Amino acid sequence: MKKTMSAAFLVASLALTSACGGGDDRPTKDEVKTAITSKDSVFGTAIPEKSADCVATALVDSDVSDKTLNAIVESDEDYKGSKDDEKALTALTADFAKCVK
């Protein structure tokens, strides 16, 4: 449980700093899910499959920018998100917690 919960919170804290912010189109839930469940995820750990669908849905449905979501999908370790993205990710903390129950 602790590892699963830590992985979800890791998404929120690292998405701004370690995820290529190339495209302008919003990634799909499946694209985000694939990125966060990869063993090569920029988060250093894969989000467990059981929680990944929920986390991906929360991210795609959130106010997190398309650029930041694309950075997550493309594993852009040099991407830096905006203050607005930081606020949007912080607002997802409760949603992420529900995903790992």
Range of the domain at 90: 2-99
> Which pLDDT value is given to residue 21?
45
Give the sign of the dihedral formed by CA 94, CA 76, CA 24, CA 82. Answer: positive
Model confidence, pTM:
0.73
List the pLDDT tens digit at each of the 101 positions of the chain.
Answer: 555 555 555 555 555 444 444 456 999 999 999 888 887 766 666 778 888 899 999 999 999 999 999 998 988 888 888 999 999 999 999 998 998 87
Please count the structural domains in the chain: 1
d(CA 43, CA 22) in angstroms, rounded, equals: 18
